[in-house]
Amino acid sequence: MPGFVVAAFLVGISVVSVKASYKVDSSIFDVPGADESDNLLNDILHALDNSSGEALRSAVARSLPELEAALGPMLVSLPQHTGGKFGPTAVRYVLHRLLMKKHGWLVKGLDPEGQAWNGSSPASAPLLARLPTDARAAVQRKLTGPGLSPKEVAVLALLLTEQVHQEAVRRLGVVYGRVGLPTRGSTFAVHARRAVELYLAAYIVGRDPTHANRTVLLNDLASMNEVYPPWPHVVDLLRKEIQRQVHSGIVSFADATEVVHHVSDHFWKWQEPACQAIKETLVKMEDDGSGRVRLADFYGKALHEGKWQLSESEVYLRQLGALDDSNPNNVRVIIPNYVQGASNCLATSEYLSVCCMSECESILEQLEHSLGVAEALPGDVAALVASLPSSTVPANRSLSNVMLHRLNRIAMDNGGRVPLHGRLFAQWLHHAYPRECPFPHLSGTTRPLQTDAWVKNTGLDIVATPGAMAHHAGPSPRNRRGRRTSRPLETTLWSYQEELFVPRPSEQPEGWLVLQGAVYAAAAAVVALGCLLGRLARAGQRAAQFARASETKLFDV
């Protein structure tokens, strides 16, 4: 067989495999070759000093298998480059999801902040700026070159986690210094507990103790019951964790660092009851099972029932992506967008914030695990979603004809399959689980900034004035309980504008096979041209068939 035929055949296989089924298999982490999967780790270890290198090796032995297990279903359902590698967009997307799922961390540089996922490389995350230059360069080189293997993605997740832990230790050391405790040797448990409580208070309000004196830290602690109502519950959990770690009246600094590591990793669990309380409050006011609350009712809770948490201004809610103003006469707050929004995040630093968990993530994870593909048949998706419950949607329900029509339409526009990691499917999931899955706005149409960043950038207060709230809410509460239903939304905001969060390999330059030699390159070009012409022909047929339907529609059924 001539060489160019072999090359064309191989390229053809790579193109077809874009739509292939990637079944969940632990072998995704078994990359052929000597130590290829450890290249990134080795490069980073070479760049670190002995102490940091040993800490990373210990973390790898302790935590890498768990991270690989968590990443497996996500990675196997993402479009892959040749050799099972993942480019910067895929890595950013999956790391954002992983760290939110495990820790509730909204990591700066991974969160798209309302923009497209391919807007920047994960190598630009401020957390990685803490690394030596050579280590950062190794990450960037791998991302912009062949991409990361699944094991290397897990290594990068571990590296980010270790940077969070190191920052926590640094801040605890500052607090120790402010109250006169030694970081070498040991101290009495009662004093160490006080220092850790000071650390936690500063952590929650987002204060770096480096920029605060002892008096400021003590004032933060004294005000916690007022500014953070869950404080008694949280400090009780903290003391139980200290008792679990410490078995005597003497505490070393190393013991205390284990406690703050636990705080960093698990604070979202301590905060989650408050998040669920907000959701429950909103669901009780829900507008006819829509996953939305009338802005009038939202502000009425703040004005007339003392729910001061529900007081963000209309302009901030809109930029947050939590407002549905498609009907100007019935402006509504989108429940999951609000609950998971930046205004409900705590522990904000220059690196990350701790936010309410996305209940939709567990739904998407179950779909990924069961389907094991990047693009699935609509019938398979519909059957699974109909069977999957949420905290407010029952299992084994029947999906409406409208929902099935929309799902099939998504598939028809994508060669017969539904991309699991795109805006349209996320929108469909929002309609299937309106109280759990956020509505996905088009990139660039929202700017979900943290509250402090919003004030700094705009000069505007995030809190609505009493007059503005009264304008919407009226002089007295409506006392109307929303009617709950598990039916999907059929007349709520919908558009057919797609955005793939992770492009298919054939749609991004780094996704093609790197073939050596002019003959192989020419063969690849021929096959690529053929595939492109085929896609154009199919697109033309679809365009003729759906000329009218393909326009953006707000209330399409």
Dist CA 284 CA 51 (whole Å): 53
Q: Which two tokens stand for residue 104?
A: 């509730």
Contact in structure between 314 and 302 (CB atoms under 8 Å): no
pLDDT at residue 537, as a whole number = 47
Average pLDDT (248-253) is: 92
For residue 254, pLDDT beyond 90: yes
Which of the pair, 420 or 6, is modelled with greater confidence? 420
pLDDT at residue 491, as a whole number = 56
Q: What are phi and psi of 441, to 5 degrees?
A: -70, 155
pLDDT band at 189 (very low <50, low <70, confident <90, very high): very high
pLDDT at residue 506, as a whole number = 63
Q: Tell whether pTM > 0.75.
A: yes
Average predicted confidence (pLDDT) for the chain? 84
pLDDT band at 515 (very low <50, low <70, confident <90, very high): very low
With a pLDDT cut of 90, the percent of the chain lying above it is 69
From 192, 187, 190, select the one nearest 172 (Cα to Cα).
192
Q: Of the ranges 321-325, 391-395, 470-474, which one carries the lowest mean pLDDT score?
A: 470-474
pLDDT band at 505 (very low <50, low <70, confident <90, very high): confident
Contact in structure between 112 and 44 (CB atoms under 8 Å): no
Average pLDDT (518-543) is: 41
Torsion sign (Cα): 313, 319, 324, 326: positive
pLDDT at residue 503, as a whole number = 86
For residue 111, the 8-state DSSP code is S
pLDDT at residue 49, as a whole number = 86
Please state, as a whole number, how many other Cβ atoms lie within 10 Å of the Cβ of residue 238.
22
